[in-house]
Structure 1
Amino acid sequence: MQPLVNIQNLNLKYQQKQVLVDLNWTIQHGENWQLGGVSGSGKTSLAKIIARKQTAIGDVKINFNTASELPAEVLFVESWYQFKNVEGVANFYYQQRYTSQQAKNSLTVHAELVSYGKENNLHLDQVEPILEALNFSTFASSQLIELSSGEHKKLQLVKALWLKPQLLIIDQPYTGLDVASRKSLNILLDKAAAAGVQLILICNDTALPTSINRFAEIKDGKLVAVDSFERSSHTENRLKEIPDFLKQSPLYSSQNIVKMVDVNISYGEKQVLKNINWEVKAGEKWLLQGHNGSGKSTLLSLINGDHPQSYANELYLFGNKRGSGESIWDIKKRIGLISPEFHWYFDASATVWQSIASGFYDSVGLFQQLPYSKAAQVDELIEYFALTESKNELLNHLPLGKQRMVLLARTIIKNPELLILDEPCQGLDQQQTQHFNQLVDALCANGMTVIYVGHFESQLPKSLTHKLVLSQGEAIENTKAYTIQKELA
């Protein structure tokens, strides 16, 4: 039997940079691959070429099994999904997610699945077990715009596992998923593989489906087979000296950063947050955790000033009761924020330099000239994050991992009173993740207040000392004696 995929002498140049160089790859029937390696090496581009979503120079042959009952298709699940409203347009804005109950301008999860089923001649009863396995059944009536990044990922995974194509390529399959959902996904992927679906998972994760039996990475534009991507035991890279302006403690307007008293948030009959009582003091470092749909994003939207129901609750930000006369910009100037959703809606048509500089003004582009002192700080961060060669490139011309590094630089540029890091390392490779978390530890040592959302203790900064855990909208753990060392022991 001919191989499922046979790639010969594949070349790809992007923005004058040679990404793939005479790359060869043969995937035999029965092989399931993990494609890992550093951010920006060309993994996603290679996947798109195989799925016929991107062109390149070279020979790419797909030899489907004509005897198989599975669809003779290559399905590529992107690391990030751009949905559309009911008019077929994708022009959403960041805060719209929290006011969508009034707008009703995007499909529900159920309507999306019905449409997908009709398009691909699939039966709805076959999707129910997948929804249940990923704990996604309760989201049937939710609009697409209401979903978090992890919930959007689940929806794309549900559709892919429902279709069961002969070749399924998933870019960053575990991004945004909680621990239980990752385990459930691996079981579902193993079942799909047993049914004849062949897998290519683009990631550096080590907890994989048992069906993954081949491993490779792209080095210098060529595919290189490796034994696995088990985390190496090498010593940590030494952190570069952080810029001087970040060595200063933030100038706090109040020692009380956040205070919530019996906070409740509901959308119609659906209660998202239930009687939340939480205090964050200046200089504290909090870990925020919870399963997908537990209410983390909604909780953070109250602090960011993005949620309209904040006025209906007893909420204090930076010492002031919400609704006492402060504007949303009074709040945002004290906060540095990064989240998957913010990345989705950010204007990627700005340059790297402009994107970082916009953090001074909490805008999605740079609309004014910076004074010399602020421009110098931008240059310092660009050098610190090793972005000098890319500083004049458009943000959307960079790989997603580098885009995230740019937005992380934007988040800290003004040395804010509160740093909100909602899964900040999504899309980063292991070295980038390690480097960024070392930076967070250095900022914490200088007195910055941090709220950090992350699912895995092995991928967190070491300086976190407090922990809040949500489940079904309720706080089930609220402790000031948290240490990563204890969690890992």
Structure 2
Amino acid sequence: MRSLGFSVGQVARLSCVADDLLIAPTEADRETVALGKEKQRSAAWEAHEKIMRTAKMLRLDRPPPASDVAGVRKHEQSTALLHTPLIRLSNGQMRRARLMDALVRCSSVPGSASNSAQAGPGALLVLSQPYNGLDAPTRSLLSDILQERHAARDPRILLFLRAQDEVPDFITHVTFIDQDGRVRAGEREEMLDVMRRQANSDAHAQGSYALVKQLATSKRNEPSLGQSSAPLVKFTNVGVKYAGKMALDEINFEVHPSTRMVLVGDNGSGKSTLLSLILGDHPQSFSIPSDRISLFGAPRSAPSNATLLLARRIGHVSPELFNAFPRKDSERGGLTVGQAIGSGFEGVFSRRALNEEQRERVWSMLALFDDVIGSQTDEMQSAPLTKRFTNECAAPTAAMLPFDPRSANALDAAKKLSKQSFSSLSLGSQSIVLLLRAAISNPALLILDEPFQHQNSHQVGRCRDFLDSSAPHSALYQIHAGQATRDAFAIGKTAEERERDALQRRSAAIIVVSHYESEWPQSISSLIRLDAGRVVERLGN
């Protein structure tokens, strides 16, 4: 309502102005004043009804918790999420709220204070990657809404999508920009054929539920050293309640070293709450008894789990972190690419002085991704790592990558890239840098919440290869003479250093959240599915 120029509810109260939905002429008001107030109130209610209709289409009209009903006005009782504090919305719910705001504001509301800024029928609505963070049912729902609005020219729709994203049925024309910056445009079917040929030329093997289920039941996923070790995370009958509503209900699960897990569920199913408990960000993580939640063998309140210490043990990527990460230009005091990655050693959002070993690790990590982040040379052209892997490779070196990451040229390019401003990168490249930030210190646990948002297919493929290469049952990781000698992404100057790095990467536990099955790493061998705060499916150990 505020973006439409109306002050209602708490906004009106805090601004000490009349609630536009409740304006009523008094006896002291006469013709002009009363008429103006009545017009304002009518316009406010028209805007309110438009919000309600759009909220229903986007499933933002769920009823409030029973304990809150008494405190909610009659016209608000079916719109709880609209009156939920933003901090309590999950990533998917926040995305839906922003989409609703865009759809509502794209048509005019007569009488609103900001009417001149509103669009009318025939306007153009531009949405960049609108399907990011949405579960499959909501993606389908959004396509139906956009198709209906586009057909009615209220408004016209222009979408910016990644090449690997599904193009909605209502789209009639496509403009395709390939990896080399070449632009082609044409009718839908013609351009989809071009895109399919491009995808087939550099396709990675896709993840899937079927593959997870296969790995979960295969002999290769029998209990290993990680399963016999003490759990990094242990939940026993954990429940979290908000204002009388269960956000998590009787959750039981363990995360052991070497675990490769995917956490799935529709928007609002409890995934964000569960991850916030593991990260120690949730306020209730301190009050839940130690026999219910154990982080690295101790309760959240233990000195060993102090916030700064916990941040060093857990690497973390999420849409919220992506949005909050500082993006001031480096010339104005912002972070460079190298400083952004280096901040992961301490788990902070600011630059830290790095020792020589840490700087070299940052450069070595960047060298593995330079061709999909920034500069490209003839030696460094993107290619699926799976196409480069052969069983004849004797060591985890250049033969497994489309270039030699330890060559002088690669390291020089990485050093140059490390000095570039983080804010100058594309969103996809920023996403990769934040993934490297999470992994730079080889943490015991990696939590990757929608880690591939904004990335193109080449970038997603390289990041999945990076995650898969350390898994014992992955095609990118081979055991030779009992040693982990085939991790193509292991870092170190000597074979011994690379071996140590490979073993550390292998022992790390990884939890991935992604609504796109095709983007799940192929090494995922366990799954937990949430629905309304409860575990409804479990695969693997």
| Distance (whole Å) between structure 2 residues aligned to residue 312 and residue 476 of structure 1 | 26
Looking at structure 1, the residues matched to 171 and 452 of structure 2 have their Cα atoms a distance apart, in angstroms, of: 24
2:184 match: 224
> Which residue type is aligned with residue 214 of structure 1?
H
Quote the offset at 1:253 in angstroms.
13
Question: Which residue number in structure 2 is paired with residue 284 of structure 1?
Answer: 259
Query: Per the alignment, do residues 336 and 206 of structure 1 end up closer, same or farther by CA in structure 2, a change over 3 Å counting?
Result: closer
> Corresponding residue for 2:174?
215
Aligned partner of 1:340 in structure 2 is 319
Task: For residue 121 of structure 1, report the CA deviation from its aligned partner.
Answer: 8.9
Q: Which has the larger radius of gyration?
A: 2
Contact 2:226-2:259 at 8 Å conserved across structures? no
> Counterparts in 2 of 1:269-418, with a 5 A limit?
269-313=244-288, 314-326=292-304, 327-348=306-327, 349-368=334-353, 370-386=354-370, 387=374, 388=414, 389-418=416-445
For residue 432 of structure 1, the aligned residue among 434, 448, 459 is 459
The answer to whether the Cα contact below 8 Å between 1:237 and 1:435 also exists between their aligned partners in 2 is no
Aligned-partner SS, 1:320 = coil
RMSD value over aligned CA atoms?
3.0
How far does residue 234 in structure 1 lie from its aligned partner after superposition? Answer: 3.1
Taking a change above 3 Å as real, the CA distance of residues 221 and 384 of structure 1, as seen in their structure-2 partners, is closer
Kindly indicate whether the alpha-carbon contact (under 8 Å) linking 2:314 and 2:447 is maintained by their aligned counterparts in 1.
Answer: yes
Instruction: Say which SS state the counterpart of residue 250 (structure 2) adopts.
Output: strand
Which range moves more in the overlay, 420-429 or 215-224? 215-224
5 Å-filtered alignment, 1:75-224, equals: 123-138=47-62, 139-162=81-104, 163-164=106-107, 165=119, 166-196=123-153, 197-204=155-162, 205-218=164-177, 223-224=183-184
In structure 2, what residue type is equivalent to 1:415? Answer: N
Deviation at 1:217, TM superposition (A): 2.6
Aligned mates of 2:83, 2:531 — CA distance in 1 = 20
| Cα distance in structure 2, aligned partners of 1:119 and 1:224 | 45
Structure 2 match to 1:268: 243
Amino acid in structure 1 at the alignment position of 2:137: A
- Kindly state the Cα deviation for residue 221 of structure 1 after the two structures are TM-superposed: 5.8
Query: Which secondary structure does the structure 2 equivalent of 1:169 belong to?
Result: strand
Q: Distance in 2 between matches of 1:463 and 1:252?
A: 16
Letter in 2 for 1:324: A
Distance in 2 (alpha carbons) for counterparts of 1:298 and 1:465: 23
Aligned residues: 359
SS at match of 2:232: strand
Q: Secondary structure at the match of 2:158?
A: strand
8 Å CA contact 1:288–1:467 kept in 2: the answer is yes
The answer to whether the 8 A contact 2:257-2:509 is kept is yes
Q: CA deviation at 1:148?
A: 2.7
Q: Distance in 2 between matches of 1:283 and 1:222?
A: 42
Q: Does 1:474 align with 2:398?
A: no
292 and 257 in structure 1: CA distance in 2 versus 1, 3 angstrom threshold: same
Closer, same or farther: CA 168–280 of 1 in aligned 2, 3 Å: same
Percentage of pairs with the same residue = 32
- For the 8 Å contact 1:161–1:192, the answer to whether it is kept is no
SS of structure 2 residue aligned to 1:467 = strand
CA 1:325/1:448 → structure 2, altered by over 3 Å: closer, same or farther?
closer
Q: Are the equivalent residues in 1 in contact too, given 2:467–2:521 (CA < 8 A)?
A: yes
Q: What does the per-residue CA deviation read over 1:118-156, in whole Å, with 9 as the maximum and x for residues that have no partner? A: 999952223333322322223122112222332221112
* Structure having the larger proportion of residues in helix: 2
Deviation of residue 440 (structure 1)? 0.6
Structure 1 spans left out of the alignment, 5+ residues: 1-74, 76-85, 88-104, 106-110, 112-116, 239-249, 482-489
Instruction: Provide the rounded CA distance (Å) in 1 between the counterparts of 2:42 and 2:533.
Output: 34
**Residue 254 to residue 305, structure 1, CA distance change in 2 (3 Å):** farther
* Partner Cα separation in structure 2 for residue 475 and residue 237 of structure 1: 31
Q: CA–CA distance in 2 between the matches of 1:460 and 1:479?
A: 15
Structure having the higher strand fraction is 1
| Secondary structure at the counterpart of residue 367 of structure 1 | coil
Q: Structure 1 counterpart of 2:136, which letter? A: V
Instruction: Report deviation, 1:251.
Output: 11
The answer as to whether partners of 2:226 and 2:507 remain within 8 angstroms in 1 is no
- Contact preservation (8 Å) 2:308, 2:346: no
Determine if contact 1:305/1:332 at 8 Å carries over to the other structure.
no
1-side partners of 2:446 and 2:366: how far apart?
Answer: 19
1:149 aligned partner, one-letter code = N
Q: Tell me how far apart the structure 2 counterparts of residues 206 and 400 of structure 1 sit (CA, whole Å).
A: 16
Which residue does 2:403 correspond to in 1?
none
TM-score with structure 2 setting the length: 0.61
Give the distance between the partners of 2:165 and 2:202, measured in 1 at CA: 19
Q: Secondary structure at the match of 1:478?
A: strand
Shift of 1:360: 0.6
Distance 1:149 1:393 in 2: 29
